[in-house]
Amino acid sequence: MVENLQVALMRKARASSSFRPRELTNLLWGSERVANERRAAFERVEKTLGTYETAKLPRCYSETSREDLFEQGLEMGKVCLDDMLEYEHEHFVWITPRYNLVNASPFGHKAILFEPAMEHNGTAEQKSKWLPLARSGKILGTYAQTELGHGSFVRGIETTATFDQETDEFVIHSPTISSAKFWPAGLGFSTTHGTVMARLLVGDKDHGPHLFVVQLRSVGDGKRMPGIKMGDIGLKLGYNEADNGFASFNHVRIPRSHMLMAHSQLSRNGTFAEDPLRAKLSYSVMLLVRGKMPGVFAVQLAQALTIATRYSVVRQQGLGPVDALNTETNIIHYKHQHFRLLSLIAKTYAMFFASRACDTQYNKLRKMQCQADHSLLPSVHALTAGLKAYVTSEAVDGAEDCRKLCGGHGYMVISGLPNIIGALAGGATFEGENYVLWQQLGRHLLKQLDRFQDGETIEPQVQYLAEPKDPNTSCMASGEQFLDAGVQLGIYRDRAHRLVVKAHTAIRASGKMPAEAWNEHMMLLIYASRAHMDYFILKSFVDIIAALPDTMSESLGAVLKRVCSLFALSTIVNPRSVDVLSFIETTGTQQPYLTCSQLDTMRSLVNGLLDQLLPEAVALTDAWDFSDASLCSALGMYDGNVYKNIMRWVEQLPINQNAQENGGVQEGWAKWVDPILKRAKL
Ligand SMILES: Cc1cc2nc3c(=O)[nH]c(=O)nc-3n(C[C@H](O)[C@H](O)[C@H](O)COP(=O)(O)OP(=O)(O)OC[C@H]3O[C@@H](n4cnc5c(N)ncnc54)[C@H](O)[C@@H]3O)c2cc1C
């Protein structure tokens, strides 16, 4: 039998790699055992959901009404919960079987927000009451913070919890339209309880936002509790499997014991007491989610890249640099395609490894907090804010570029890319809007510089701020020295140092009121934060490479070093990088930090790295071990049989199937097309 051309091209591209993707898979997921367990869990869930057989058009492309998508979300959420319970694993705690953040599931908040909110903010008694119910699924919880009128500015929320001393209850109330809870996943129809953020009012005193456990629906029949109006907010750009909802409360009564009281307490006689660190401690749930988002978002970008890379090695278009097999060119050979794909693949690995470093910091913080040591909180808060902002922005921009890299077919929903882009787009906004988060990191960096200038110690991640620096120093490296990780780190460190000092000087020495100076120089501060994260991300990648196990094959080690160098250098020479000019500027007046000829050297090194990594492109994406069902893409299946896969799914679309039964005529013909044809004149 003659092999299909695209299948042959895919086979060839896959055979060209110098390392075994499975070795990299094990490194990415932690070990061979975990990688195998993940694969088995995905397979079981895909079989139960009916998505495993990818010859069949997935339901998400054939049943697409608001109600259909929500119903699919409920089924997916339940199947994942059942599988985790039966096989005792946590593979779907943070992601869905399509690698969306689990907020895409109606039950997503259960384990990542509702239960952690209890754990972090509840007293021992409250935890022993609520956690067993939540963990065993006897109640299903959401986390309701955002309101119609306020998201970023939590202190501005309007829902009230007024203490009624006579009955020992709180009265939860939405006093205005803008105070309606709006957005929480699962709030529409699928959760029974919520940790609701409301202002604690005792007598005439407003103690600000606190968390309260409020029963939203009857556990018996799902009916709304009296006094609560709830529903779904409708179709969104992504996450349509989840019922992001609204809720307004009309004097709903809950017992006093439903206020989460680990960090602040209200006694029976109305006496209020709070831990001086309460405001900061109550952030810790948010840190958990923000800290996990970079890893999840990097992996979802890797999905988009897997689709775009597989498509690019089998798609032929035009008579460019001629491929040996054919007269037409595989589009990956066009230099822009090659550069965009490989530099994004490199960035994805860099961001993923940085998310690992962030996990380590977060786990260290939690350990210390168990001993009542909260000293790491400011630095982890700043790190999670910065990394979340960085990765979620880069991921959605990268996925959108993947769509463009697939030309017209990338625009089809069945390419899988619109779902990925829609999901990633939300990440820039929820769990802290990115531009708000950049400022939180910026504030921390300025404070660290204040500390240094006051002769106090500063934390290890910003130790570069303490290094002596001549503002007129330029980079002295040349030629292949730019492939050295130490040289690359020096460039990134120098830039971060320069930008943080610049923002610090502008804001602290402006002579204006602090808030005015802050606003005026906000862009400087945001770019300083970004530069700091660029440095952190490169450093994390370099650290991972330095710590690769001795058992790792030389070929994979060499590929990862090249990927790391490609990330470092392509970020500098890519005109699309954010604030790329600041790699060159100095604060001094004598000469730029990098010269034009050094930039040319880097461009030529990048071209060399691209050539070396081209044969590895498919293996670098295969290594993520995405199943075809999880990609849900007619363009990105493992076999590369792209045209067959597209046509097979398109023919199964209900719009075509329905017409098929009627000789190819659609319902609208008689009403709208026929009258035009029958009209004498237009
Ligand atoms: C897909 C999705 C899922 C969500 N899920 C949940 C959920 O489950 N639970 C929940 O409670 N909420 C949820 N949300 C809501 C989300 O948390 C908020 O939308 C988010 O916090 C941003 O707040 P906002 O909408 O008020 O935006 P705004 O703060 O109004 O932002 C609008 C613009 O103003 C700018 N801005 C605002 N404040 C400042 C400032 N101080 N300095 C500079 N610029 C500023 C922002 O940068 C942005 O450009 C979800 C949102 C989305 C999109």
Q: What is the 3-state secondary structure (H, E, C) of 44-58?
A: HHHHHHCCCCCCCCC
Partnered with residue 330 across adjacent β-strands are 316
Q: Is the CB of 245 under 6 A from ligand 1?
A: no
Q: How many CB atoms lie within 10 A of CB 626?
A: 22
- Provide CB contacts within 8 A for 455, sequence distance 6+: none
Query: Which residue has the CA at smallest separation from atom 8 of ligand 1?
Result: 184
Helix (H, G, I), strand (E, B) or coil at 626: coil
pLDDT (0 to 100) of residue 334: 95
Ligand 1 contact via 151 beta carbon (within 6 Å): yes
Q: Determine which helix (DSSP H) or strand (DSSP E) holds 161, and give its type and residue range.
A: strand 160-164
Q: Which residue range(s) make up the domain with 157?
A: 109-282
Q: What is the pLDDT of residue 190?
A: 97
* Inside any domain, residue 292: no
- Residue 457: inside a domain: no
Q: Does the C-beta of 178 come closer than 6 Å to ligand 1?
A: no
- Tell me which residues of the chain have a pLDDT lower than 70: 1-2, 321-326, 589-590, 680-682
The best mutation among 150, 232, 283, 436 to test binding of ligand 1, ranked by most ligand atoms within 8 Å of the C-beta, falls on 436
Q: Contact, 485 vs 564, CB < 8 A?
A: yes
Cβ of 192 below 6 Å from ligand 1: no
Here the CATH number for the domain that contains residue 268 is: 2.40.110.10
Segment (H or E) for 241 = none
Kindly state whether residue 505 falls inside one of the protein's structural domains: no
Q: Is residue 660 part of a domain?
A: no
- 152 CB near ligand 1 (under 6 Å): yes
pLDDT value, residue 280: 77
Q: Is residue 269 part of a domain?
A: yes
Asked if residues 32 and 26 have their Cβ atoms less than 8 Å apart, the reply is: yes
Give, using CA atoms, the residue closest to atom 7 of ligand 1. Answer: 184
Q: Which atom of ligand 1 is nearest to the CA of 433?
A: 22
168 within a domain of the structure (yes/no):
yes
Residue 68: count of CB within 10 angstroms of its CB: 15
Nearest to 242 by CA among 255, 233, 253: 233
Q: Is 247 left (phi over 0), alpha (psi -120 to 50) or beta?
A: beta
Q: Is residue 377 part of a domain?
A: no
Q: What is the DSSP letter of 283?
A: T
Binding site feature residues: 146
Within 13 A of 551's CA, how many CA atoms are on the CB side? 5
The interface predicted TM-score (ipTM) is 0.97
Q: Which residues are annotated as a binding site for FAD?
A: 146
Query: What pLDDT score was predicted for residue 325?
Result: 56
Query: If you write DSSP's letter for every residue of 395-444 in order, what string do you get?
Result: HHHHHHHHHHHTGGGGGSGGGSHHHHHHHHHHHTTTTS-HHHHHHHHHHH
Per the annotation, the verdict on 431 as an active-site residue is yes
- 433 CA to centre of ligand 1 in angstroms: 5
Among candidate residues 169, 394, 431, 616, the one labeled active-site is 431
Give me the pLDDT at residue 322, please: 58
For the chain, how many structural domains are there in total?
A: 1
Query: Which residues sit opposite 171 in a β-bridge?
Result: 162, 253
Residue 441 forms part of a structural domain? no
